[in-house]
Chain A
Amino acid sequence: MAELQKQFRKFEENIRLSDIDDNKPLRDKRDLLIKELKEWGKKNEKPGFDWFNQGSYHMSTGIKPMEGDDYDIDVAIVYDINIDDYEDPTEVKKWVRDALKRNNREVEILTPCVRVQYREKGEPKNHVDFAVYGKELNWNNDERSKQISKGREFSSFDNRVWEESEPKRLRELIKDEMFQSDKELGGQKRTQFRRNVRYLKRWKDNNFSSNGNQRPTGIAMTAICHEWFKPLVSKDWEGNIVEKDLESLLNVVRTAVANNCGLNVKLPVIPHNDLFEKLKESDHNEENYKKKLKELKKTLEVAWNEPDPHEASKILRKVFGEDFPVPEKKETAKKTAYSAITTSSSSG
Chain B
Amino acid sequence: MAFDNHFPNSRPSVYILGDTTMLGQVPHLLPSNEICYCDKEGLLLDDSNPVGIIEEAFTMSFDTLKGSVNGNADRDYLREFEYYWGDSVENFRVISLLGDLPTPRIVKLGSNKNIKLIGETEEVIDDFYKKTENLEEQLEFSEVLFIPLTNSYGISFQEKWDTKKLYNVIFQNIRLHNRILEYLKSNPEIQVYVTIPNGEDNRVHFCVEFEKAKNGKHPLIDKSNSTVLREIIVDRADVDYLLPRGGASREMRDKNVSIVGCGAIGSIVAMELAKMGVMNLSFIDHDKLSRANIYRHVLGNSSGIGKYKVEGLKEKIEADLPLTDITIYPKTFQETVNESPDLFASADLIIDATGIPNTSFQILDFTYNQRLNTPILHSWLEPIGIGGHVVTSNLNSIGCYRCLYSYSEDGQFYNKASFAAPGQTFSKSMFGCVNMFTPFSSVDATKTAILTVELAKKLLTGEETKSSLESWKGESGEFLKHGYKFSDRYSNLTLQELKDFKYEFANKTCSTCLIREA
Which residues of A does B touch, CB under 8 Å?
Answer: 235-241, 336-348
Contact = CB atoms under 8 A, between A and B. Distances in A.
Interface string B395-435: 00000000000010111111110101011111100000000
Nearest 6 pairs between A and B by C-beta?
A348-B355, A239-B488, A237-B501, A239-B492, A239-B489, A346-B380
Contacts of A347: 263-264, 355, 380-383, 438, 440
A342 B490 CA distance: 20
B265 interface: yes
B423 A343 contact: yes
B497 interface: yes
Contacts of B196: none
Nearest to B494: A184
B440 A344 contact: no
16 contacts: A236-B504, A237-B489, A237-B493, A238-B416, A240-B492, A345-B415, A345-B424, A346-B380, A346-B418, A347-B263, A347-B382, A347-B440, A348-B263, A348-B265, A348-B266, A348-B353
Contacts of B101: none
Nearest to B352: A348
B488 A240 contact: yes
B12 interface: no
Interface residues of B, number: 46
B355 A241 contact: no
A241 B505 CA distance: 15
A239 B487 contact: yes
B469 interface: yes
A238 B415 contact: no
Nearest to A341: B413
Interface string B315-326: 000000000000
A235 B414 CA distance: 20
A194 B331 CA distance: 61
Interface string B500-518: 0100110000000000000
Nearest to B503: A237
A208 to B, nearest CB: 39
A342 B412 contact: yes
B261 A348 contact: yes
B469 to A, nearest CB: 7
Interface of B: 261, 263-266, 353-357, 379-383, 407, 409-416, 418, 420, 422-427, 438, 440, 469, 487-493, 497, 501, 504-505
Contact of A338 (B265, B379, B413, B440): B413
B353 A237 contact: no
A169 B439 CA distance: 53
Contacts of A337: 411
A137 to B, nearest CB: 49
B491 A336 contact: no
B409 A336 contact: yes
Contact of A346 (B357, B423, B489, B492): B357
Contacts of B380: 346-348
A346 B411 contact: no
Given A343-B425, A346-B381, A348-B266, A238 B489 contact: yes
Given A235-B492, A239-B489, 17 more contacts: A237-B469, A237-B493, A239-B487, A239-B488, A240-B492, A241-B492, A342-B412, A343-B426, A343-B427, A345-B382, A345-B420, A345-B424, A346-B381, A347-B264, A347-B382, A347-B438, A347-B440
Contacts of B505: 237
A348 B490 contact: no
Given A235-B497, A237-B501, A239-B487, A346 B355 contact: yes
A340 B504 CA distance: 26
Given A238-B416, A337-B411, A339-B412, A345 B491 contact: no
Nearest to B386: A345
Nearest to B264: A348
For A235, A336, A344, which residue has the most chain B Cβ atoms within 10 angstroms?
Answer: A344
A215 to B, nearest CB: 40
A171 to B, nearest CB: 29
A336 B381 contact: no
Contacts of B356: 344, 346, 348
Contacts of A348: 261, 263-266, 353-356, 379-381
A341 B411 CA distance: 10
Contacts of B426: 343, 345
Contacts of A341: 413
A236 B505 CA distance: 9
Nearest to A237: B501
A241 B489 CA distance: 10
A312 B197 CA distance: 76
Contacts of A237: 469, 489, 493, 501, 504-505
B340 to A, nearest CB: 21
Contacts of A340: 413
Contact of B411 (A235, A236, A338, A343): A338
A186 to B, nearest CB: 13
Contacts of B492: 235, 239-241
A63 to B, nearest CB: 28
A235 B500 CA distance: 11
Contacts of B415: 344-346
Nearest to A339: B411
A340 B413 CA distance: 6
Contacts of A339: 411-413
Contact of B422 (A236, A239, A240, A342): A342
A178 to B, nearest CB: 21
A336 B357 contact: no
A187 to B, nearest CB: 12
B415 to A, nearest CB: 7
A339 to B, nearest CB: 6
A1 B218 CA distance: 89
Contact of B414 (A241, A336, A342): A342
A339 B412 CA distance: 6
A271 to B, nearest CB: 41
Contacts of B493: 235, 237, 239
Contacts of A240: 488, 492
A7 B188 CA distance: 95
Nearest to A348: B355
Nearest to B484: A345
Contact of A342 (B381, B383, B413): B413
Nearest to B410: A336
Contacts of A235: 492-493, 497
A59 to B, nearest CB: 27
Nearest to B490: A239
A341 B413 CA distance: 7
Contacts of B440: 347
